[in-house]
Each structure stands twice: as structure tokens, then as C-alpha cells.
Amino acid sequence: MNSRQVERIFLLGDVLVTMIAMFVSYALRENLAIFLRDLKAPAPEWDYVRLMLIYLPTWAWCASRTNLYRIELLNRPLFESIRALIVTQAWGTAALAMALVVTRVALNRSFLALFVVVSTVLLLLTILVERTWLRASRGRNLALVVGPRDGDVAGELERLRGTLVEWLDSIDPAVLRSRLAEGGADEVILPAAIPRARLPELLRVCDEVGIPARIRMDRVEPDLPQPRAELVGPTLYLLYQKARPDRPGLLLKALLDRVVAAGGLAVLAPLMVVIAILVRATSRGRALFVQERGGLNGRAFRMLKFRTMRADAEADRAALLDANEMDGPVFKIANDPRITPLGRFLRRTSLDELPQLLNVLAGHMSLVGPRPLPLLETRELTGSDRRRLSMRPGLTCLWQVSGRNDLTFREWMALDLQYVDNWSMTLDLAILVRTIPALLSARGAR
């Protein structure tokens, strides 16, 4: 069997193990119900069948994305397979939860917890069996390195990938075809300086036997982001980015932003109308303050707030620059004389930010993300501080729940970069939970 056939068998085996885990979890829960009388009665068996029809294809897609059943991954150190399993199970669990909502199957939480634990354990045992079989039947993964001998290449492959290395000094396609016909090689490593006229034929020789070919590129500096290849038409690019966006996660984040913003506007509309009336009644000018701010990747957008300053406040900004209390390009004053009495209350309670739910609904902002700066201050950001612009700005952020204006500009930027480089849905949730006590305490609000 070639590698692709083996991988298909491994995938089918993983899917079968997942189905077995479902039945084992069902049986375990029935036995637990004998001792724990408070457990609810199980759902009808047909509901489990419907659930598996939705869940299994989704789980298999997640496994393919993480390379869970790929020979290449199974030949690597065990912790890489465990990491791929954890990611696959996390996505599978999310898919399972969504399937329950869509199908309205009344499965018990105790069953779901049992299923996640049992399936993870059984799949881990399956991975160990697959790895053992690969080692016994094929030995360790063998990389056939073509071209001049390089001790660094051999050391990296053996030390970091656990791969055996065999050298083939000739770059003649006929010599490579003859060696591959003998069998035993799992991948071919081609040199970076290979003549372009030879490359297509060498790649065709590898494709004939169905094994991957890798081309050695220049060495990457350790302090640079890890590159990845991207094909644009016929041209190959190397993409460098420190924090790679989790596109499915960002899509889910955008959908939740709009749903929550729409619900928030529906609930808070009466309060917002009252605030607008009070702003108009207590000072001259419009109820809303509209200002251009720097959004995703520095693009300008018009951010909405309830007006908290005099109508002519922007004209007085230049005269107050010497009183700025923030370092960096940000302008903040603790007792800004331009703020109205009502505006001071709105700022301390953050009620002035409510109109930004419209910005979230329009897609200019997110519920959680680095706070957008005025366009002038955004353009004055330098160096790595500009990386904060790679995430959509938000209503709340780490800075907002960590002291706001009590922090220095450098501390503010460090928190924003920490958020950008470590973003996840769970981090967003943690920030939203911490936002409520931060608003009630009004710490750092000005």
C-alpha cells in the first residue's frame, strides 16, 4: 500500500473509534444512572444516530485540517500528534454543540462529558497503535536528501523530526528514479540551488511514486516569524507573520459581534434615547460625537460616541497639548476643562460608548479588541506598536480592564500586543467577563 492508502485506512479507523466511543459513552452513562438517580433519562437511540451523521463528517474535516492521521505527523515526536488530537477534539466538541442546537437533540451534559473523555482516550490509544505499526512495518521515516552533503541538514532532520537521512549525491532525475524504484524512501529533500531546468523532472519522478518532495530554502533567522508558503497564480511567495489569524475563529467572532450588538441595541435603545435627550438638554451641540479613528490595518472609520465635551472642544485641543498627562502620541488629561458635568458622569460609567454598538453592527469594530485611537494618533504609532492595528478595534480590551488611563502608554501598547499575539475566543470571553467589574469600579476612567 502507498502512503495515501495507509492514511485513508487510518482516517477510517479514527472515525470508527469515534463511533465506538459514542456507544461506550452511552453504555457508561446507563450504568452511572443506576447509582446516580438524579441523572436524566437518555435520549432515544435515533437521536444519537442523527447526531453522528452530522458530527462525523465535521470531525473528519477537522482531523484532515490538523493532519491527525497523516503518516508525516505520526512519524514525528509524539507530542505533535497529541497537540493535533487536542485541537481536533476541541473543534469536534464545538461542532457537536452546534449540532445539538440545530437538531434540538436533548442529550445530557453528563453524556457529552463522557463522550469527550472516552473518545480522546481511545483516539490517543489508536494513535499509539498507528505509530507502533508504522515503526514496525516501515521503520523510521526515511528522507532521501538529493545534492551535495550538508551536515546541518542531516542534523536538523534527525534531531528535530526524528527522520533517518540517506544521501543521493546526484541530481540526475534518472538516478533519483532508479533509487526510488528500490523503495524505502518516504520523502525527497531537494537542494535550494537546484537548476530550474532539472526541478520539474525531479518533481515528476517524486510524484510517480506518490511521495512528497521538499525544496530546502534559505535559513530563517530565529527572531523572525515562521514563514509559510502561499501560491498566487504561478508565483510562490513566503509569508511572514508573527501571529497568524485563525480565520474560522475570526469569522465566528464577527458573527457573534453582530448578533450581540443587534441584541444590545434592541435592549438599550430606550436608555440611549434618554441619554441623547439629556446631552442635548444640558449643553449646546449634537447628542452624538463623530470622530475619525484608525480601524483594522489603520483604515479610517467614523466612530460614534455620546458627546461628553463642549461643542467647540476640538478647536481648544491644541491649546491644551502642554497639559497632556500621557506619554506617547496619546492625548489625555485627568481634569479636562472641556468635559461637561454630564459628560464626566458618562465617561466614568462608560455610557458614552454605547453608540459604538452601531459601529460593531456595521463591522467597523468588534466587542473586544484594541481601543481605536483618533486618526492623527494612529498615524503617529511607530515600530511594533502598529501591530495592534492588525486586529479589529473593540469596545473593550485588556487595557480597558487593567486600569485604562492609570497605565502608561508603553503598558497600554504591551497589553494590546499581548492580546493580538495570543487572541482566542476564550480570551475574548475572559475580557468581557472582567469588563463588568472594571466598569463598576470606574478605575482609570477619565
Residue 165 burial (10 A CB sphere; 0-12, 13-18, 19+): middle
Spatial CA neighbour of 111 closest among 21, 196, 14: 21
- What is d(CA 435, CA 424) in angstroms, rounded to the nearest whole number? 17
Confidence of residue 146 (pLDDT cuts 50, 70, 90): confident
Side-by-side strand order, sheet with 164-168? 164-168, 142-146, 187-190, 213-215
Q: Give the model confidence (pLDDT) of 271-286 as tens digits.
A: 999 999 999 999 888 9
Cα 217 to Cα 239: distance, rounded to the nearest angstrom: 13
H-helix segments, 367-424: 375-379, 398-401, 409-421
CA-CA distances (angstroms) from residue 131 to 82, 143, 267, 295?
A: 12, 17, 55, 48
Would the pLDDT of 370 be above 90?
yes
Residue 39 has pLDDT above 70, yes or no: no
Q: Where are the alpha helices (DSSP H) in 75-220?
A: 78-103, 109-138, 151-161, 173-181, 199-209
Q: How far apart (Å, rounded) are the C-alpha atoms in residues 353 and 395?
A: 7
Give the Å distances, CA to CA, from 280 to 35, 134, 388, 389.
66, 75, 35, 34
- What was the pLDDT predicted at 434? 87
- For the domain spanning 142-219, the CATH number is 3.40.50.2300
Domain boundaries, the chain: 3-137, 142-219, 247-441
Look at residue 246 and give its three-state secondary structure: coil
The more confident residue out of 175 and 216 is 175
Q: Which residue has the cell 475572559?
A: 430
Q: What is the distance between the alpha carbons of residues 364 and 354, in angstroms, rounded to a whole number?
A: 14
| pLDDT tens readout for residues 6-24 | 888 888 888 899 889 888 8
Segment of 32-41, 79-88, 97-106, 332-341 carrying the highest mean pLDDT: 79-88
Residues 244-267: tens digit of each pLDDT: 667 788 888 999 999 999 999 999
At residue 37, does pLDDT exceed 70?
Answer: no
Cell numbers given for 312: 467647540
The highest-confidence range among 222-226, 340-344, 441-445, by mean pLDDT, is 340-344
